[in-house]
Amino acid sequence: MNKLLFFGIILASSAMILASCQYKSIVEPVIPPPDPLDTISYSAEIEPIYQDAGCISCHSGGQAPDLRAGNSYSSIMNGYVDTEDPAASKIYYYPLPDGGHYQKYTSAQAALLLGWIEQGAMDN
């Protein structure tokens, strides 16, 4: 009888442990959007996003836009940035999680990029 009780406890414990397993996705830290009064630097803050997000693995000269350092600004200003409607800028919305692109920006990268476009998309 004790063996049966022991087996039952082990079986019930195993079932509870397995039932509690679940897939947990990585949650991005909550980062406040950039301060609109702070000037966002293209060369120091925006251009590095392309490297960090993995964009240049495809966009390194063979596929438009060319996002390599030194080339990216002139390349994205040729049809990828809309200063009149910043959220409609292809360089902003296409790499968002629901934008249909393979590589994705983090929410912090997307907020920084949108802020830069809203500030006039300066080459600074």
**Residue 101 pLDDT > 70, yes or no?**
yes
Note whether residue 2 is domain-resident.
no
Residue 22 lies in a domain: no
What is the percent of the chain with per-residue pLDDT over 70, rounded to a whole number? Answer: 73
Most distant CA pair in the chain, distance: 80
Residue 21 binned pLDDT confidence (cut-offs 50, 70, 90): low
Spatial contact of 53 and 104, defined as CB atoms under 8 Å apart: yes
Output 58-66 pairs: Cβ under 8 A, ≥24 positions apart.
58/102, 58/103, 65/91
Decide if 11 is inside a domain: no
**What is the reported pLDDT for 60?**
92
Q: Is residue 96 part of a domain?
A: yes
Is 26 part of any domain?
no
Q: Which domain holds residue 43?
A: 39-122
Count up the domains in the chain and report the number: 1
Q: Is residue 89 part of a domain?
A: yes
pLDDT tens, residue by residue, 28-83: 566 666 676 789 999 999 999 998 888 898 999 899 999 999 999 999 999 999 99
